[in-house]
Every structure is written in C-alpha cells, then in structure tokens.
Structure 1
Amino acid sequence: MPVRAPMMPQQGIMVRPMMGGPPMGMPRPPPMAPPQRMLPQPPPVPFPVGGPGGPMDEPPAKRQKTEDNLIPENHFLSMHRSPITFRVSVPSLADKPEWKLNGQMMNFTLPLTDQISVLKAKIFEELGMPAGKQKLQYEGMFVKDSNSLAFYNFMPGCIVQLQVKERGGRKR
C-alpha cells in the first residue's frame, strides 16, 4: 500500500504535496509576484512663508499681457460699447509739486477710438505733468501714444498706472 503524505494547509485550501501540481479539480495557487524594490524618496521641499504662492503680503504673480495676447482692435470695438470710464493711478512724488502727483486716483471717460496721446493730454490738463514725462502702463504693458484705447483692450473700470519717464542721468 502506498504511503500517503500528510495534508498541508495552503491559502485556505487543503492540498496534498504531489509531483506536477495540485490534484485534478483543485485550483492552482496564484503565482507570487517578485518583491518590489523601494527607492529612497527625496525629502519634501518646504514652501516659502505664506504657502506655494510666495510671501503672505504679495499676491500671486500675474502673467503679464503682451500685445500678442490682445484681441484685434476692430474685433474689440465690435464687442464693446464706447465710451468707457476707467481710472488712472497717480504716483506720489514730492520732488515736483507743480505736477500735483499726490497718489490720487483719477477717473476718465473716453471713446475707445481715442489714442493714448489724447489720454496723456487729459492727464496734462488735470495735473500739469507734460505728456513727454508721462509713462502709462496697462496690465503690464507700456502703452504707445499712437495706439488707441481699443488697441490695448481697455475695459470699463480698468486701472492704468501713471509713472514718471526719466531719461539719462544717474540711477537713484
């Protein structure tokens, strides 16, 4: 009489050790996956104070507009009504009291077809600052006198930054 091997538990199934695999009708145990190698992970990089956007007192950096990102002037004019009211932010400058640069906000209502040179003339009327000393910036772009408000896609309620144009001389 042949000798029987003892029954051995394996994954909840009782099987007999035999050559060639499990007995007929018994499921074959799933193959074992090779062990995974764990690679060392670099330590996390800490964010600056205030989180991923930077220091708490600064807003997240806004992507600067360029003339390439603008809606074409004729298309912009067909989509928006004219005239529009917008604001000009004036810097505070004590060096030239005759220019009345006291950090105020000025409101203007102009047709979108007006050129930037018209806006500079209006600023001159209000502040006494010559147009040749004015530098206007709108959404990161310095605007040119020969282009219109529609060319730069001026929107109602937008804010234009007035700066003093300085030429030559030493840096402060």
Structure 2
Amino acid sequence: MEEDLNNKSSLLLKYNPVYKKIPVLLHNYKPICESLLILEYIDETWEGPSIWPKDPYERATARFWAKFFDEKCLPAMWKVCWSKGEEQEKLKEESTQLLKILESTLSSKKFFGGDTIGIVDISGNFVAYWFGILQELAGLQVLTKENFPKLGEWMDEYLNCNIIKENLPPKHKLTVHF
C-alpha cells in the first residue's frame, strides 16, 4: 500500500510503532520493518535465486556494505541535495569521499558482489537511481560518470537489468514528487 508520510495511517503506526517509517512488510499478520531486514526475510522465506552470498565471510561483507549504503551514503547524499551554502559544501565533500570508497570497492567487478546483482547492489539503489534525480533538481554535480567511471558502469549495468528497470518508479513521477 502506498503511504502518505505527511498523514501516516493507523496501519503504519500499528505495524511500525517504534520508527513510524516505511517500508513495512506484513507477512502472516506479522510486521517486518526496515529495508535491509525485509530483504533478508524475503530471501530466507521464499524460494528463488538468493541475493545474499552463501559463504559466511562474503555474507558478512555484504551486510557491511549494505549497511554502509543505508547508514552512511543515503543520509549524506540525501542531505546534500536539500542543503545550501557552507553546509552543502561540507556535505558534498563527505558524499564525494563516500563515493570514492564505493568506487575503489568495485575494482574490476560488474556488481558489488561479482557478476550478478545482490544485496549490496539493491542497497545501493538510492545511489544508482534516486540520487541522480535529486542531483539534477538541486543543480549538483557530485556523482558524475567522469569522476566515478566504475560507479557509472555499475549504475548502467544495474539500471539496465530488466527486473530492476521494471520495478523502479518512473523518473517523471519522482521529479514531480521532489
């Protein structure tokens, strides 16, 4: 269900009373909150190709990088688009440093986990898609393919994957929303 975050529904408040945020997955009348936890739950509950590595070390590493996207990149990059002046300059530098870390992590890999899309790539969806729209609206040039060629290649591969393309919100709708 779509949720109006300016007028949160009683269902959202019932099923996520702690954070009062989306997303919430309701399965068998039991709520699972927070994106990464929902993805892990889905992966463990339903059959199909896994988005998590099988090897325990690789799985822990994937959790680390997914958390890096979620807790470091997303907040800094979101804030830079809505800030001004000195604060924006500081946040641009912080975002640039985070992107440099991601760029070096990709090295010669097609995706963060190797040759197929996995949890880290899905966690980086904000960087791959949403941030470009926000940058354009804010008149920023933080993440460019010239400055981050490996991230640019990753974004192209990720966004051109049929399953990803089919499930992204249309750019024009996000532009109007923001």
Bigger CA radius of gyration: 1
The question of a shared fold, defined as TM-score above 0.5 by the shorter chain, is answered with: no
Q: Using CA pairs under 8 Å that are at least 6 residues apart, name the structure with larger relative contact order, 1 or 2.
A: 1
The alignment's TM-score, normalised by the length of structure 2, stands at 0.24
Higher strand fraction: Structure 1 or Structure 2? 1
Q: Which has the higher helix share?
A: 2
